[in-house]
Structure 1
Amino acid sequence: MIQRVQTIFLFLVVIAMGITVGLPIWEQVTTDSTWSLSAFALIHVDAAGQEIESVSKWYIAALAAFAGLLALISIFQYRNRGKQMMINMVNSLLMVALVVTVFLTTNGINEDIASSVAGTYKLGFWAILVAMVCNMLANRFIRKDEALVRSVDRIR
């Protein structure tokens, strides 16, 4: 039954991971340059707008894409709620790893440039946190469905 409420939350996880891949995650503006982190690259731009350096961060995009794919796979596992919950738990761990990766990357950049300001997290980062909450809510409703099925089986 795809028309359950947890399907909506899992679909929101897919959308949030798409936002993470497509939009900027973090930005650090200093007096003479700007550092911008997206899911694919870290770009260093000077005050004139010329790109100084670009470093690939493909692993952030890979983690986000895999988390979105797991949520999509989980949507179609509605007949096996145990497997669906397991996939969502693995997805939760994957999203925590994604947040930790982004956090460590941004802190490393701040240490390298010796900035006193931490930078600003953009919509791509906040989408990861929204996805984590939606994944948690989906698991909660899957557990509710499982409890309902077990209670009906006891009555028979």
Structure 2
Amino acid sequence: MIQRIQTIFLFLVVVSMGVTLGTGLWQQVLAASGETWSLSAFAMTQSDASGEVILASSKWYLAALASFAGLLALISIFQYKNRTRQMMLNMINSLLMVGLVAAVFLTTNGVNEAIGAEAAGSYQIGFWSVLAAMVFNMLANRFIRKDEMLVRSVDRIR
């Protein structure tokens, strides 16, 4: 049923992916020159010390992964009648979110190597919300599995 606890967790996955799309993922400030590199789900921007954007490059694949993960969680909410399909969708969603974290990590490491930064930069709320979404997805799968085991045990008693 739609009012189960896993629905709340899947809704939190959708909200977390929305936060990922709406906030920054990573920022690097070079102390020597004052340049700032910022990564959002849509673009990587380089700004000078005065805040003027020098360079911007699209990172559409991050936004696509986050959007698809949120959409898949939303679809999974309405698959409550078929728990095995719901678990399969959530496992695919977990893989998408792991891919999103890997893509962000590889993108930020590539930028750090290209600019020769000494520090790694700071991951912002958008990145941490992806990790929270992974935890919510895992909890949703756990409760779906628990429901499935309960239904099977009741069927066995009949």
Q: Secondary structure at the match of 1:3?
A: coil
Q: Secondary structure at the match of 1:21?
A: helix
Q: Percent identity?
A: 70
Distance 2:96 2:41 in 1: 15
Q: Secondary structure at the match of 2:113?
A: helix
Q: Secondary structure at the match of 1:116?
A: coil
Structure 1 segments of 4 or more deviating over 6 A?
Answer: none
Letter in 2 for 1:144: K
Please list, as runs of the form range in 1=range in 2, the aligned pairs for 1:41-60 lying within 5 A after superposition: 41-60=43-62
Q: Secondary structure at the match of 2:24?
A: coil
Name the structure 2 match of 1:114.
116
Name the structure 2 match of 1:30.
30
Name the structure 1 match of 2:5.
5
Letter in 2 for 1:13: V
Distance 2:116 2:99 in 1: 25
Q: Is 1:93 aligned to 2:95, yes or no?
A: yes
Shift of 1:18: 0.3
- Per-residue CA shift, 1:63-115, capped at 9, x if unaligned? 00000000000000000000000000000000000000000000000000000
Distance 2:46 2:28 in 1: 9
Name the structure 2 match of 1:129.
131
Distance 1:62 1:56 in 2: 12
Name the structure 1 match of 2:15.
15
Distance 2:84 2:7 in 1: 15
Q: Which runs of 5+ in 1 are unaligned?
A: none
Q: Secondary structure at the match of 2:118?
A: coil
Shift of 1:38: 0.2
Name the structure 1 match of 2:84.
82
Q: What TM-score do the two structures reach when normalised by structure 1?
A: 0.99
Q: Which runs of 5+ in 2 are unaligned?
A: none
Letter in 1 for 2:127: F
Distance 1:28 1:88 in 2: 33
Q: What TM-score do the two structures reach when normalised by structure 2?
A: 0.98
Letter in 2 for 1:12: L
